[in-house]
Structure 1
Amino acid sequence: MPGHRHDKGSTVFQSFRLSLTVPLAALAVAMLAGCDKPAPKADDVRPVRVIELARDNGTERVEFSGDVRPRYESRLGFRVGGKIVERKVDVGASVNRGQVLMRLDPQDLRLAEAQAQAALRAAETERELAQADYRRHQDLRAQNFVSQSALEAKASALKAAQARVDAARAGLRGQSNQTGYANLEADADGVVTAIEAEVGQVVGAGTPVVRVARTDEKEVVIGIPESRIGQLRNVSQVSVRLWADRDRVIPGKIREVSPVADPATRTYAVKVALPPGQDVRLGMSATVELASNAAAGTAALRVPLSALVHDQGATSVWVVAKDRSGAATVQLRPVQVAGQSGNDLLLSGGVQPGQTVVTAGVHLLKPGQRVRILTADIARRADTEAAAAKGGAR
């Protein structure tokens, strides 16, 4: 049938035309894409903050946190055993030397004292009898009624009786002291820091029951790591600041350095004595700044901690320089850290005075990258030293 053949041929022709149209469209898209290539992207200019390096005077300052403690703190206990019947102080109470803190039941001690008194009276009676017997024998010897040996025997008996009196008298004094030990007294002016026994408790001789801290001498205890303990020999100045009053600087003095590191923290306990008369409460948080003078010829360059970059196990800084076009670019320079001074680090090599170092934005840079300095004027080292000197003089 002619109509049917015509429809079939038309369908084949349309399919062939469609197959040619698809490649041509793809080719046109590719040509248009080739003509519309993006322009090369310009390098980003990173904003940074910088500082100009200058030689430090060689003073290294490090800070350690600690707390205020009493230099002397006694754990007081009764010198005799017994039952506590009275507690006269609380934690935080101020006490004076000789003030009664606790009392024991004195009944048994008083009975023992009465027994010692009775023993002394008995010894004194025996001595009086021996003395009278000795005098009688002296008269009989003068009349030659007794022998010399009998008189010497009575003299020995009198000496023995006197010795028993002396022993009984010493026993009475000792027992009287024992009775007085029923009162626990403060051995110095101070403040009660702990109560370790209560009324009704039976304690033995020497058992700590009250803790008293002297308030006349105070110190700050800090922990210094192993790497810093050797630098204590060069410490020239010790300054203490309280967390509650950061503007006040209290001069301190290193009094004691522990010879053994703490097994848990691996730090050495260092005790810094405070001058007397300071309005400092026990337990306050404090910061101790240790300033040590470096040896001659070892002056370093001071940079903020934020300027350091740790790259492939090395410590580096970004140094700003000018390229051929006059634009500011950065290069990574390895440095050697000589120590710490407050929040800054001291560099002993890798950079030179007068070079400009990036202090903010260091983790967004790459070698040769162009930068834009945010500060209008580069911070000079003289201003930094003046500010540090002003802070240390407060």
Structure 2
Amino acid sequence: LQWKQSQAQLAQADAQLVQAKADYERKRQLYEAKNVSKSELDGAEAGFKSAAAQRESAAKALELAKQQLGYCVLSAPLDGSLAEVPVEVQQAVSAGQPVAMLSSGDELEVEVGIPEALIGRIRVGDPAGVRFEAIPGRVFKAAVSQVGIQMSASTTYLVKLRLQEKDARIRIGMVAETTFSFGAGESAAILVPAVAVSPTPGGDRFVWVFQPESSTVAKRNVRIGDLTSDGLEIVEGLAPGETIVTRGVNRVSEGMKVKLLAN
């Protein structure tokens, strides 16, 4: 609307300038023929200059309106598709407020929280597998693109995996399961919750094993394998049927008496 009003005002200023110029030229010729007074010529000249100034002001107003109109056009920084538009038509927005979410589809990443016991064994470039519940029966190849250095509120470290395969069925926000390989041996593995495994200052891993004869716990070093959606593999150090501490592992000490929770 402002753009159209500015165009109309410029057109009106152009017409007034043409008329004022013609009036001035006519008065100047009449003055030279001594048919009008000097004051009438001065008035015509003043009107001409005023019309020229108004025309210049209208042109600048149109340029400003054109510039502001350009702010209404959003250009995507890269090719992609709209994933979300969190605002409504004619809704007032503030500076810095997101108005669109763009999905490029070329470098999709998966974010996963890794517990303290395992973060030291993950490096940028390590291979991983990613499964999506919405795409059953398919494991996508991925590689670690970023390893977090600060623990989050959930006591895990953020790790990002970049998918190395494309599939049009993958959408932003999908829930994924990830699998890492830590070079497990050929021995049969026992699955335990990842939070039950703690690191030692020397880089080893250990768990607290329940001693039923004394109702105490004992520290035991273990060797870990793959981190799967079902838990962390223990390939050495535990025997089938043994009970370990899975809650409050940071508050347990060697020989502490504990009580088993009822199933």
- The normalised TM-score by structure 2 is 0.52
- State which of 147, 166, 173 in structure 1 corresponds to 2:66: 173
Query: Do structure 1's residue 345 and structure 2's residue 198 form an aligned pair?
Result: no
Tell me the distance in 1 between the aligned counterparts of 2:117 and 2:242.
Answer: 28
8 Å contact from structure 1 (residues 225, 266) kept in 2: yes
- Work out which structure has the larger RCO, using CA pairs closer than 8 Å and 6 or more positions apart in sequence: 1
Match of 2:198 in 1: none
Report the Cα distance in structure 2 between the residues aligned to 1:234 and 1:277, rounded to whole angstroms: 20
Maintained 8 Å contact 1:309/1:362 = no
CA distance in 2, matches of 1:135, 1:259: 80
Whether the aligned pair in 1 keeps the contact of 2:24 and 2:48 (CA below 8 Å) is yes
Partner residue in 2 for 1:238: 128
Q: Indicate whether 1:190 and 2:81 are aligned.
A: yes
| Number of equivalences | 204
For the pair 1:203 / 2:108, whether they are aligned, the reply is: no
Q: Residue 136 and residue 210 in structure 1: after superposition, are their counterparts in 2 closer, same or farther (change >3 A)? A: same
For 1:268, what is the secondary structure of its paired residue? strand
SS at match of 1:253: strand
Give the aligned partner of residue 218 of structure 2.
Answer: 313
Q: Give 3-state SS (helix, strand or coil) of 1:231's partner.
A: coil
What root-mean-square deviation, in Å, do the aligned CA atoms of Structure 1 and Structure 2 show?
5.1
CA deviation string 1:24-77 (max 9, x = no partner): xxxxxxxxxxxxxxxxxxxxxxxxxxxxxxxxxxxxxxxxxxxxxxxxxxxxxx
What does residue 266 of structure 1 align with? 155
Matches within 5 A, 1:221-370: 221-233=111-123, 236-244=126-134, 247-258=137-148, 260-263=150-153, 265-275=154-164, 277-282=166-171, 283-291=173-181, 304-305=189-190, 310=209, 311=211, 312-315=217-220, 336-342=221-227, 343-345=232-234, 359-362=239-242
- Greater per-residue helix proportion: 1
Where structure 2 has 5 or more consecutive residues not aligned to the other structure, the ranges are 31-37, 193-206, 212-216, 244-263
Whether the 8 Å CA contact 2:190–2:235 is kept in 1: the answer is no
Partner of 2:103: 214
Which residue is equivalent to 2:202?
none
Contact between 1:237 and 1:292, CA under 8 Å: does it hold in 2?
no
Cα distance 1:114–1:244, how it changes in 2: closer, same or farther (>3 A)?
A: closer
**Structure 1 residue 304: Cα displacement:** 2.0
Q: Is the 8 A contact 1:219 1:274 kept in 2?
A: yes
**Distance across 1 between alignment mates of 2:116 and 2:51:** 72
Distance 1:124 1:193 in 2: 46
CA distance in 1, matches of 2:242, 2:86: 56
- CA deviations 1:110-148 (Å, max 9, x no partner) are 3x44432332123323443565578789999xxxxx9xx
TM-score norm. by structure 1 comes to: 0.38
For 1:138 and 1:273, how far apart are their aligned partners in 2?
A: 79
- Higher-strand-fraction structure: 1
Unaligned 5+ residue runs, structure 1?
A: 1-109, 141-145, 294-298, 316-335, 348-356, 364-394
- 1:239 deviation in Å? 2.0
The letter for the 2-side match of 1:340 is: G
How far is 1:301 from its partner? 8.4
